[in-house]
Chain A
Amino acid sequence: MTDSVMPKWADVALVPFINLALALFVSGIVVALIGKDPFEALYILVNGSVGSAYGWGYTLFYTTNFIFTGLGVAVAFHARLFNIGGEGQAALGGLGVALVLLYVPWPHWTIAMLAASVGAAFFGAAWAAIPAYLQATRGSHIVITTIMFNFIASALMVYLLSRVLLVPGAGGSPETARFAEAVHLPSAYEIAPWLGFSRSTPLNVSFFLAIAACIFVWLLIWRTRLGYEIRAFGHSEPAALYAGISPTRITMVSMLLSGGLIGLMAVNAVMGEAERLVIDPVQGAGFVGIAVALMGRSHPVGVFLAALLFGALYQGGGELTFEVNGMTREIILVIQALVILFTGALDNMVRSPIENLFATTRRRPASPEPTTPLEPGGHPERGKAEP
């Protein structure tokens, strides 16, 4: 992608924007086909998510989740590994948080948050470790094994919550006891009441942890030796091998980092919001991470912005259900699917015409002969552009 004929701004901004516009356009057609007004739906979406402090409280809460899962998927992407197991890793992260907070009497939320983060990251990474190990040493396809581990995690969590961690008298719903009052994370309402957040806002200090995670990933990928090795491995495994980079080590390390980052989501969702471990604390956020990482081009800044977009979509989608009769929040899944489709799978469909456009406008003054051979796996059309 780096040797593209497109200027950088087109790659990082124009193409994702067109992808998003296409996804919204097609979703708009779907909305119109079922007899609703797409512009009204869009207005409710935007207004419900960012039109009020109440909306922002939820939007940024979802954003926090998606930053963690998006960063996790992005780190794996850099090593050209597709971690589709975010659901399971985040659920296990929730287990880590719950165990840390239930069995240790923490004096203050700051220490508890630190410990819970370690627990979440450790459990999330542990759940990614087995697929990573099997990929690295046995060549088992990581996509398949991580999917399988999602289902195994889901069964494991149901088992643990309904048989092991269940509190007596929880009213039948499988959940753990409520965490102690001392480990309550300050919510946005408690930190900054002057911003107008409602008392029930789920947004909490984990948001800052998510921003810290963005900075950490940026430093790691572009400013450390390990990050260089991950990227080198992702670009070309034989070259990395030749340079003395161990594929086993990079596969393990990047998947552990990926799982750990995704596990951290539980600090926000389990410790920050629910304050107990319930069935399925992840709510699809692990999958949203895929869309976020794709759309954010695996860059922390992109991931942050894409997470914000999806946070707004998830909050606004909830509002749609209340406001429009016969409309459900699942329209968000459609938008999410289309974003993944256009940014991930149909990327060439959007990219090639734009590339050709740039190639023709740029070559018009003088027609320089291509001096470098095309890279393998490149677009065959690229070399054929008219001089």
Chain B
Amino acid sequence: MDFLGIIQILDSALRLATPLLFACLAGLFSERAGIFDIGLEGKILASAFLSAAFAFYTGNVWLGLLAGIVASLMLSAIHGLASITFRGNQLISGVAINFLASGITVVVGEAWFGLGGRTPSLMGGARFAEITLPFADAIRGMPVIGPIYSDLLSGHSILVYFGLLCVPLTWWVLYRTRFGLRLRAVGENPAAVDTAGVSVVGLRYAAVMICGVLCGFAGAYLATALSAGFVKEMSAGRGFIALAALIFAKWRPWYALGATFLFGLLDAFGNRYQSLDLFGVDIPTQFMQALPYILTVVILAGFVGRAIPPRAGGKPYVKER
């Protein structure tokens, strides 16, 4: 593989990692506040559908993005209602949300467009255009730096850059603001937060809603930037890979960037090579596809660095008995 080949793979990895990154940060907010969310997948799917549908009807991708976020937020509200207000099982709620999304997107999609659950292809202003960074054309000819800047960093949709920006933003919110401190505390010891006079319910709803917004970005990116329109089940397990990345990153923002990029890279490799010949051993593409999940299990098993989730994660908070 030559240098340009590597650049192409990395470029593809960056595109594929972006929805994972959004979803991973979404899960990070939710789980840091003590709400497990295995419904990331469903929220991505719902957002992908509604953003594509609205972008198609209005011809404006920004309205599509907004609709996608609204779709994701609605599912977040259900999750919040079930797991915060009614203190139900958060895992079961997540499972239900995934099914709800994969059912309702096809049912409504078929009713609106009659294309077997697809939306029509998006064109022009209904998609996020690729942005050329300043001077990208001017320095393309330079060795090494030229291709890295012009081909790898430049030429992505605005959501890719926003996703990258979300990483320091998340870090700043979580570790440098009062809200972030409380949010992390509510995931570790909600009783302490409650004693301090801060609303556990309010904080957890806030976290779940932030999670919804970020999943909305992930879905909209998938349908209106990465591809041109919605297809049935287009999230294709990305919500679960994001969950895996979140564990891989041990619930920390910068590591989330690393983990999602790694999983994006695996995806890019799998797309490019049907099988990979590594040191004389033929590695099937299915192994590459399964690798994120295998790595996550290994991490979870604690053989390579232990992943310890937020302590109050998954437990509904009961104020008094």
Contacts and interface: CB of A to CB of B under 8 A. Distances in A.
A151 B107 contact: no
B286 A341 contact: no
B104 interface: yes
B201 interface: no
A327 B117 CA distance: 10
B286 A334 contact: no
B300 A347 contact: no
- Classify the secondary structure of B's interface with A: helix
User: What's the interface size class on A, roughly?
Assistant: 35 or more
B294 interface: yes
Interface stretch (A133-141, A229-237, A261-269): A133-141
A162 B287 CA distance: 13
A15 interface: no
B296 A344 contact: no
A156 B82 contact: no
A337 B100 contact: yes
B178 interface: no
A208 to B, nearest CB: 30
Interface in B74-129: 78, 81-83, 86-93, 95-100, 102-104, 106-108, 110-112, 114, 116-117
Contacts, number: 167
Given A140-B302, A159-B286, A377-B318, A344 B96 contact: yes
A220 interface: no
A368 B103 CA distance: 48
A84 interface: yes
Contact of A333 (B103, B293, B297): B103
A368 B318 CA distance: 26
A348 interface: yes
Contacts of B99: 287, 333-334, 336-337, 340
A264 B95 CA distance: 23
Interface residues of B, number: 53
Given A134-B300, A336-B99, A328 B107 contact: yes
A332 B286 CA distance: 30
Nearest to B79: A345
A315 B35 CA distance: 36
Given A144-B247, A340-B95, A344-B96, A331 B297 contact: no
Nearest to A84: B95
Given A141-B300, A341-B96, A148 B88 contact: no
A337 B240 contact: no
Contacts of B103: 330-337
Contacts of A328: 106-107, 110, 116-117
A58 interface: no
B134 to A, nearest CB: 41
A148 B107 contact: no
B107 A331 contact: yes
Given A144-B296, A155-B290, A330 B107 contact: yes
Contacts of B293: 148-149, 151-152, 155
A151 B81 contact: no
Given A345-B82, A378-B321, A34 B93 contact: no
Contacts of A151: 237, 240, 289-290, 293
Nearest to A137: B301
A326 B81 contact: no
Given A141-B300, A334-B104, A147 B290 contact: no
B244 interface: yes
Most chain A CB within a 10 A radius of its CB, from B88, B90, B116, B117: B88
- Give the 5 A-B residue pairs with the shortest CB-CB distance, closest first: A333-B103, A344-B92, A337-B99, A345-B93, A34-B111
11 contacts: A36-B111, A138-B300, A138-B302, A148-B294, A151-B240, A155-B287, A334-B103, A334-B104, A337-B96, A337-B97, A344-B95
Given A34-B111, A327-B107, 15 more contacts: A84-B95, A134-B300, A143-B38, A145-B300, A148-B296, A155-B287, A155-B293, A159-B287, A326-B111, A331-B107, A334-B100, A336-B103, A344-B88, A345-B92, A377-B318
